[in-house]
Amino acid sequence: MKVILGFLGVATAFFIGGCGEPTAYGKVDKTPYATKECLKQLASGSEIVRSQKIDKIEVYKKKRRLYTYRNGKVVDEFRISLGKNGDKGNKISAGDYRTPEGNYCIVRKKCDPRLYRSLMISYPNAADRARAAARGVKPGGYITIHGQPKWNADGHGDNYTLSHDWTEGCMAVPNRAMDRLWIAVENGVPITIHS
């Protein structure tokens, strides 16, 4: 019973969170999810550290690993979580909770009050749209590399979140990894997602 209640508490905390707004007690949320400073950085382009820039990302779903590269050499390796059905093959349609496979690029950075920061990839590409159309379904979209839910802002739950696939199809990394990616990734960086 204690295990079930503990899990329900974690699951509830996992999905409930604020958005950097004042709380019911009038206090402003001071977690890293407050987006005002993040948005200022993006507007000026000051989040990029030129000496840390990478030129390629590769994801290996079976290994649950994300690698960054600079000039053909691995710079960083991060553990990841995938979509709830991430190990059931390539993404086919909206709502299938699968993580896509293929060649994409980073198209947008987002300051996210719910899942820390995120890097949007160019899913769906032409092949994804054609595959979905052939099946009479919508391919879905808004697939990102993102940080952790708000309850895990400080990383205390990384071992839990990284040992489960819990996203809707995205790739989730620890917030410290997201910080490294944030300063190193510009729009246009290619990403290949392998099975």
What digits encode the pLDDT tens for the residues 132-155?
999 999 999 999 999 999 899 999
What CATH number belongs to 22-194? 2.40.440.10
Backbone angles phi, psi at 130, to 5 degrees: -65, -40
Note the residue count of the chain: 195
Q: Which residues of the chain have pLDDT under 70?
A: 1-32, 34
Contacts of 28 (CB under 8 A, 6+ apart): 20, 21, 22, 34
- pLDDT recorded at residue 47: 86
β partners of residue 34 = none
Q: How do residues 3-26 score in pLDDT, each as one tens digit?
A: 444 444 444 334 333 223 333 334
β partners of residue 77 = 67
- pLDDT recorded at residue 17: 31
- pLDDT recorded at residue 112: 83
User: At 54, is the secondary structure helix, strand, or coil?
Assistant: coil
Q: Which residue has the tokens 């977690």?
A: 31
- pLDDT recorded at residue 13: 39
Strand segments, DSSP code E, in 122-189 are 144-146, 171-172
- pLDDT recorded at residue 113: 82
- pLDDT recorded at residue 38: 84
